[in-house]
Structure 1
Amino acid sequence: MTTDTVYQAAESSPSVNGRPLSAAATLDGSVLDSIAQRVLWLSTAMIDAANRGRPNSSGVKAGGHQASSASMAGIMTSLWFAELTAEDRVSVKPHASPVLHSINYLLGELDESYLGRLREKGGLQSYPSRLKDPDTVDFSTGSVGIGATAPIWAAMSHRYLRDQFPETPKGGRFISLLGDAELDEGAVWEAVTDPGVRQLGELLWIVDLNRQSLDRVIPDVQIQRLQGMFAAADWQVLTCKWGRGIKQLFAAEGGDLLRARLEDMPNEEYQRLLRSDPGQLHERLLGSAPDPRLAALVDPLTPRELGVAIRDLGGHDIGLLLETYRQVDPTRPTVLFAYTVKGRGLATEGHPNNHAAQLNEAQMQELAQLSGMDLANPWQRFAAGTAEEAACRVAAERLARPAVGEGRIPELPAELPWSYKAIGSTQAALGRFLSDLARGVPEAAERVVTLSPDVASSTNLGGWINKTGVWSPGERRDWFADDADRLLKWTEGAHGQHIELGIAEVNLVCLAGELGATWSRWGQPLIPIATLYDPFVNRALEPWSYGIYAGGQSILVGTPSGVTLAPEGGAHQSINTPSIGLEQPGCIAWEPAFAQDLEWCMLAAMNLIGRPGGTSAYFRLSTRPVEQSLARLPEDPALLERRREHAVAGGYRIIRHAPGSEQVTLVGVGAIMPEVLEAARRLEALGVHAGVVCLTSPDLVFRSLQERHKTGGSQRTAIVEALFPAAEPAPLVTVMDGHPHTLSFLAGVRGDRIRNLGVTEFGQSSSVEDAYRIHGIDVDSIVRAAADLAGL
């Protein structure tokens, strides 16, 4: 890759005009090595320009990762310029984003003006971003471990699409480029070991095995353990350890000793060899008691030759990489461990603290000379007529992608024509809603895909599953098909619309994110609805947030929620999830109290999925049966429509008093509404006029308040004005089965006095009634708080 490269390809180099350059076999090693060196220079210069070349009045460095980029330059050059097709999709490790942008620049799809604007407003992002970078980025990365697994779920999503909608554009390989330190993340192994993944032969992971993390050299030799873990999950395991140059030494007399010496030494000792003074290299390699055969092999080598040899790793030998790609088994996922040197070709290569280190001006000048470049004019492309320029041009043509189609989900109705049981929970209503959707709006329902981590039946998806079936990458025999006592039919095949994963919430939301991105990848929109236990939303939050950031639009249903799941007790109850929903960007959080509210809000949320400008949704549901008549649905069609409009805007009034007569307003959310309404009845008996507001989405009400402050009034501010008229101030008592601070913002609507009731402590096993009393959200607590504010 650099001027010290030992191996040169054996193939002859035909003239540029006589070479089609349409496949890897037509490119000799020197051309690809030259391109890789230019990629190394450009990526290093981009980071240099962002730091040394940019005014900085704040004192906060722009940062960047020259060493992490350098170790990937050869691997990524081999892929983009000789291997990838237009159908392939690649996830690039976060710290190698400058390499991706450098390649896109050489391919002609990134304007030169961006190269000096890494980590600058309006410029290139710190880490690859599908939505924020100006050039082609297949997967957003940055959350370590999450971006690496994204191609798994994209591959599964594409398989699902092709089964459901055969007109979906064909897919290629789904490739992850990740660092070996990233394999420390638990999310990686949750994904690798999922049973459905073993059938995805289109998966290829290339591990940049540079044996360094952020702060240290990774201790000992861990490759055998990692290889074994992938093999145990039925992945094909390939390894590019040594380049073909040093392999010639291994084949010579004493070469077996050299190989054993290098492979048996700990990672730290190998890294120390890389940093050794040339005059000490022979002594350090031979050790304190050198074997005469080993000494006879290495003594004739100059320090430069020996230094080049020990750096000749497989991840930098582009020809070897291309040969290895031909060995990939297309019937199962493959991992390729490519040994590299972190900082390869830079003055900082191999240093244990080189993660964020940057070259100084003198070192940049030296790299420019080695690269045939000029630090004062750093962004030169290859000259026209050169073999490298031809290779870039042909690669650009090969990788050009057609425009993505604009498939649309049919517009969903505002409501369905069926009613719900007199007593029921919002969780039960979800199951009924999905079944009704399939018979009422089948053309939209066929775009719905549900998924859960082994909790489908306990989150009320049973009816939907019986109707639509379970999807799997391959047909599976249902051995219980003739069991008359089984209520849940578990028929797995290519046309089911439910996907069941193992007990791994991270996998669940990662798949939901990729299913929710199919509209932008292949022009086929889906409505992914993922159900999980609400206490585990915290566990899934970071990868779900990543999915939203990357453009995935999905609906997450957390159920059952709060201490209403009373007998479970302890930490198996969700306290802070209402706040999480309110604070999550790119998402609307909902907590309907009644079945009709759920239907209205779910239809509204679905209409925002799978399209440009769309948004995700989070529903917090409950298993608590609630008397549906408490909603007091208006019978008049016009008033019923107003109720629906208010419900999907964030909330509605159940009890309203004459202007000026309301002494206190009770605000409830979700399954707590029976207590709120009973408290209002008791207060009325005490002579206190209590209004009642039911919020379906504190999130939307908060946005309405924020919008009012921004604009002084708009359609979006209407709901906060309707619920809390400025001319009718009254003290507020807010109640929810979650942390009380979620609704504390309501004090800012009119400046009202406020009492926020909710859950602030871990729960314990009890009845629902006892749980409400323990946490002060029972009827008595609501009445006392309201009476205090009303001056009773």
Structure 2
Amino acid sequence: MRYDNPAAPAAAPAPSGPRRPLGPTAGDAQPYDIATLREISRRVLWLATSIVDAANRGRPNDTGVKVGGHQASSASMVDIMVSLWFHELTALDRVSVKPHASPVLHAVNHLLGDLDAKYLPTLRAKGGLQSYPSRLKDHDTVDFSTGSVGIGATAPVWAAIAHRYLRSRFDATPPAGRFISLIGDAELDEGAIWEAVADPAVSGLGELLWVVDFNRQSLDRVVPDVQIHRLRGMFEAAGWQVVVLKWGRAAAELFALPGGEELRRRLEEMPNEEYQRLLRADARELPDRIAGDSAGPALRDLLAGLPAERLAAAIRDLGGHDLELLLDTYRAVDEDRPTVVFAYTVKGRGLPTEGHPNNHSALLTEAQMEALARACGTDLADPWRLFEPGSAAAELCARRGASLRREPVTHAEPASVPNALGRRHRVPVSTQATFGRLLADLTREAPEVAARVVTCSPDVASSTNLGGWINKTGVWSATDRRDWFADDPERLLKWSEAADGRHIELGIAEVNLVSLLGELGATWSRWGQRLIPIGTIYDPFVSRALEPWSYGIYSGGQSILVGTPSGVTLAPEGGAHQSITTPSIGLEQPGCVAWEPAFAQDLEWCLLEAMRKVGVPGGTSSYFRLTTRPLDQSLARLPEDGPLLERRRRQAVAGGYRITDHAPGAEQVTLVGVGAIMPEVVRAAELLAEQGITAGVVCLTSPDLVFRSMQARGRLTGGDGGGTIDVLFPAASAAPLVTVLDGHPHTLAFLAGARGDRIRCLGVTEFGQSSDLRDAYAIHGIDTAAILDAALSVTGR
């Protein structure tokens, strides 16, 4: 169903498919009183504007740094949000609010009794309301953090998929309603939007509703030309229902008059810039500006006969400000596919800055605030007051607040993750291959944990060694799909898609992958069902996925991202597929532990440790950097004795261990390696020994945790108090350091501060080229010869 201006949606085609209860049966139990809703809209406009005003004009600021806020961007969203929160929504619905409308969300929550007035003057202050909606940091109900433009808008898409996955796997999962995104039209410039819209898994999500605040302005300008036709076509091509609310009922009444159709065409065909100029013009100028040079007699007669005030009001009467039209539209959309509503609005609606091309960060003066208070029926001296008790508005606020209140989430008892799986890692094997085997082992050794694991991949499942896991657990699909290759005896990967699968495959879009990981990793806090989401991605593309993954962590999503294969170790693939900066990225990412184990047993221990901390209160995400290079597992020199093996495990999950068995004080140089480069490090130590130089060998499983250990020294709380760094690099046993990894060398440069040692840092600083492994290591100076030379140099030989 598509309609352009349903001034009377009853005339629109009836939606097909089953209907979800909407309107009075699902939101407010009472029929709406439009006059009361409009009164609430005026108060929300006032509160949202005052929240920004208090943060700027009302708060001392001697730093010279502006506080900021977005009064105009908030104003255009007021009617859309009032129609939802004060009538349409249920407690089961989840809503993502565009970043610059956070004051509207807080104003709404205040009227609903969900936010104390003491917080309203605290926007962007320490301990106060965040600059953009924050699920973890704000004091009222926020369903999705936003702020990363375009990424928060897509979060409800992935939350809907996450909930569908839960419902298909766990009977005790609470129900959910609609997943709604309130989006600024400028956000549609972001690629993340279209990667999500176009994914094949999205077209069947009828619980998705996007409402676009189509105010045709961005930060710096009026969006040029007329964009709606292109945008509508893109959504429709992806299988979405598109609804365009261009005009409200008052404007529609003018269009029904003689000359009205020509008036409508003229307003709709003019560029956005020309329309915006009408909003700033004196009402007496409007007839001439609208008529231009080509108006016909009927249009000129219509314009001449209209009072200036009525014409000025009509051109501002857009669909996104018509509460009745919005409410009728919500009930008229289909259920069997996602819907996007383009709600035309005026940026700054109801403010003196209305429609101005530079109103994005403009702030009202005190005189303008006083005038707005009078227009909204309130008082600048008492900005946060609620409606009079017993009034229709107060009763509606109380009723809606009660109906939207949610019960605290009850968390299911998490399955206990074992310390080890019992596999003996003896033959040469890569960490990438080990990763796939460990997941397959998990289904046998720890089935309760495996039941909570869900893997995801952007069309690289088989090439990142998820094949064994997929063969055991299947591919998840909202509906069972026939496997046409089930009888093919030559097929190794069993791609069976059903509702009980545990792997979710997406198209080749890393942004979608990590966005889904974030929402799968938030199900424990949304619906009380723990998942352990693990996503695999080619390591060179971690940087492409970093912002949305970081957004997911910031929003409370806990997940494990596996980047593989990595580094110039992937020598034949050349520079395009050789990652350099990802070790540093992992070390620097908040809310995440970065791991790069060299040996299979280390990976087993560290992966289980990471899984233990996912999907639980106080948990954390993890990033694993793996390679396809098989390593001789005997190089790890694993202890055979049980207590010593457990000691090694604890060291591995704390960040690293010493391979050499001599006392640290006996060594003349310490070689520190990470990941696939360890054979070269060990061989260099052997060659040094032949030269009469005793070299210690430290294998780091997580430079991230070792750095944290060093930072924790002397602190009363936090970290391990420096224990790990002191075990690896005892202060009384100083020796020069040579660090080496298949990544940028500055990742390990911090180790010079552990005890003030001289240091040489080897790593990759240039783009690579196709070669074999030995040539790649030699080109970048991380081969055995380079390590040997660095060790001799740093010891003065």
Partner of residue 783, structure 2: 778
Partner of residue 98, structure 2: 93
Q: Are residue 203 (structure 1) and residue 201 (structure 2) matched?
A: no
Secondary structure in 2 aligned to 1:564? coil
Aligned match of 2:507 in 502, 506, 520? 502
Partner of residue 680, structure 2: 675
Distance, in Å, in 2 between the alignment partners of 1:384 and 1:159 is 42
1:417, distance to aligned residue in structure 2 (A): 1.5
Distance, in Å, in 2 between the alignment partners of 1:202 and 1:210 is 25
Distance, in Å, in 1 between the alignment partners of 2:437 and 2:409 is 35
Partner of residue 286, structure 1: 291
Residues 591-645 of structure 1, C-alpha deviations (whole Å, 9 max, x = no match): 0000000000001011101111100000000000100111000111111111000
CA contact (8 A) 1:563 1:763 kept: yes
CA distance 1:713–1:456, change in 2 (3 Å)? closer
1:710, distance to aligned residue in structure 2 (A): 3.0
CA distance 1:617–1:713, change in 2 (3 Å)? closer
Structure 1 residue runs of 5 or longer lacking an equivalent are: 1-6, 9-18
- Tell me how large the CA RMSD over aligned residues is: 1.5
1:296, distance to aligned residue in structure 2 (A): 1.5
Identity %: 69
Distance, in Å, in 1 between the alignment partners of 2:399 and 2:488 is 59
Partner of residue 757, structure 1: 762
CA distance 1:659–1:425, change in 2 (3 Å)? closer
CA distance 1:730–1:554, change in 2 (3 Å)? same
Residues 637-692 of structure 1, C-alpha deviations (whole Å, 9 max, x = no match): 11111100000000000014235320000000000000000000000001110000
Secondary structure in 2 aligned to 1:306? helix
Secondary structure in 1 aligned to 2:55? helix
Q: Are residue 163 (structure 1) and residue 163 (structure 2) matched?
A: no
CA contact (8 A) 2:467 2:493 kept: yes
CA contact (8 A) 1:535 1:574 kept: yes
Distance, in Å, in 1 between the alignment partners of 2:717 and 2:533 is 36
Q: Are residue 657 (structure 1) and residue 633 (structure 2) matched?
A: no
Secondary structure in 1 aligned to 2:657? strand
CA contact (8 A) 1:626 1:674 kept: yes
Residues 542-588 of structure 1, C-alpha deviations (whole Å, 9 max, x = no match): 00000000000000000001000000111311000000000000000
CA distance 1:780–1:317, change in 2 (3 Å)? same
1:716, distance to aligned residue in structure 2 (A): 4.0
Partner of residue 693, structure 2: 688
CA distance 1:230–1:390, change in 2 (3 Å)? same
Distance, in Å, in 2 between the alignment partners of 1:49 and 1:301 is 40
1:465 aligned partner, one-letter code? I
Q: Are residue 448 (structure 1) and residue 453 (structure 2) matched?
A: yes
Partner of residue 427, structure 1: 432
Secondary structure in 1 aligned to 2:202? helix
CA distance 1:712–1:753, change in 2 (3 Å)? farther
Deviates further, 402-411 or 110-119: 402-411
1:397 aligned partner, one-letter code? A
CA distance 1:132–1:781, change in 2 (3 Å)? same
1:206 aligned partner, one-letter code? V
CA distance 1:20–1:242, change in 2 (3 Å)? closer
2:42 aligned partner, one-letter code? Q
> Residues 471-550 of structure 1 correspond to what in structure 2 (within 5 A)?
471-550=476-555
1:262 aligned partner, one-letter code? L
Distance, in Å, in 2 between the alignment partners of 1:616 and 1:716 is 22
Number of equivalences: 777
Partner of residue 12, structure 1: none
CA contact (8 A) 2:80 2:320 kept: yes
CA contact (8 A) 1:21 1:390 kept: no
Aligned match of 1:607 in 589, 612, 620? 612
1:61, distance to aligned residue in structure 2 (A): 1.1
1:295, distance to aligned residue in structure 2 (A): 1.6
Residues 723-775 of structure 1, C-alpha deviations (whole Å, 9 max, x = no match): 00011000000000000000000000000000000000000000000000000
1:709, distance to aligned residue in structure 2 (A): 4.3
Structure 2 residue runs of 5 or longer lacking an equivalent are: 1-6, 9-23
Aligned match of 2:233 in 228, 232, 237? 228
1:23, distance to aligned residue in structure 2 (A): 3.2
Secondary structure in 1 aligned to 2:67? coil
2:643 aligned partner, one-letter code? A
CA contact (8 A) 2:27 2:88 kept: no
Distance, in Å, in 1 between the alignment partners of 2:665 and 2:507 is 56
1:376, distance to aligned residue in structure 2 (A): 1.0
Q: Are residue 392 (structure 1) and residue 397 (structure 2) matched?
A: yes
CA distance 1:34–1:713, change in 2 (3 Å)? closer
**TM-score relative to the length of structure 2:** 0.96
Distance, in Å, in 1 between the alignment partners of 2:717 and 2:106 is 43
Q: Are residue 381 (structure 1) and residue 386 (structure 2) matched?
A: yes
Secondary structure in 1 aligned to 2:209? strand
Deviates further, 644-653 or 27-36: 27-36
Q: Are residue 305 (structure 1) and residue 310 (structure 2) matched?
A: yes
Secondary structure in 1 aligned to 2:114? coil
1:318 aligned partner, one-letter code? L
Secondary structure in 2 aligned to 1:116? helix
Distance, in Å, in 1 between the alignment partners of 2:26 and 2:198 is 39
1:394 aligned partner, one-letter code? R
1:30 aligned partner, one-letter code? A
1:120 aligned partner, one-letter code? A
Partner of residue 12, structure 2: none
Aligned match of 1:708 in 710, 713, 717? 713
CA contact (8 A) 2:182 2:212 kept: yes
Secondary structure in 2 aligned to 1:279? helix
1:291, distance to aligned residue in structure 2 (A): 1.7
Q: Are residue 698 (structure 1) and residue 707 (structure 2) matched?
A: no
CA distance 1:501–1:712, change in 2 (3 Å)? closer
Aligned match of 1:460 in 458, 465, 469? 465
Secondary structure in 2 aligned to 1:405? coil
Partner of residue 653, structure 2: 648
Distance, in Å, in 1 between the alignment partners of 2:714 and 2:338 is 53
CA contact (8 A) 1:688 1:790 kept: no
2:632 aligned partner, one-letter code? E
Q: Are residue 407 (structure 1) and residue 409 (structure 2) matched?
A: no
Q: Are residue 356 (structure 1) and residue 361 (structure 2) matched?
A: yes
CA contact (8 A) 2:532 2:614 kept: yes
Partner of residue 330, structure 1: 335
Q: Are residue 469 (structure 1) and residue 470 (structure 2) matched?
A: no
Residues 266-305 of structure 1, C-alpha deviations (whole Å, 9 max, x = no match): 0000000000022211111111343210121121222211
1:510 aligned partner, one-letter code? S
Distance, in Å, in 2 between the alignment partners of 1:713 and 1:178 is 39
Aligned match of 1:748 in 734, 749, 753? 753
1:457, distance to aligned residue in structure 2 (A): 0.3
Residues 31-62 of structure 1, C-alpha deviations (whole Å, 9 max, x = no match): 11110110000000000000000000101111
CA distance 1:783–1:445, change in 2 (3 Å)? same
Secondary structure in 1 aligned to 2:418? coil
1:20, distance to aligned residue in structure 2 (A): 12
Partner of residue 57, structure 1: 62
Residues 127-151 of structure 1, C-alpha deviations (whole Å, 9 max, x = no match): 0000000100000000000000000
Distance, in Å, in 2 between the alignment partners of 1:24 and 1:402 is 19
CA contact (8 A) 1:408 1:610 kept: no
Distance, in Å, in 1 between the alignment partners of 2:346 and 2:160 is 30
Distance, in Å, in 1 between the alignment partners of 2:704 and 2:216 is 45
Distance, in Å, in 1 between the alignment partners of 2:412 and 2:441 is 24
Aligned match of 2:370 in 359, 365, 369? 365
> Residues 93-172 of structure 1 correspond to what in structure 2 (within 5 A)?
93-172=98-177
Aligned match of 2:220 in 215, 224, 248? 215
Secondary structure in 2 aligned to 1:121? coil
CA distance 1:626–1:80, change in 2 (3 Å)? same
CA distance 1:216–1:564, change in 2 (3 Å)? same
Secondary structure in 2 aligned to 1:335? strand
Distance, in Å, in 1 between the alignment partners of 2:714 and 2:703 is 17
Distance, in Å, in 2 between the alignment partners of 1:363 and 1:129 is 30
Partner of residue 591, structure 1: 596
1:619 aligned partner, one-letter code? F
Distance, in Å, in 1 between the alignment partners of 2:614 and 2:60 is 42
CA contact (8 A) 1:680 1:692 kept: yes
**TM-score relative to the length of structure 1:** 0.97
Partner of residue 37, structure 1: 42
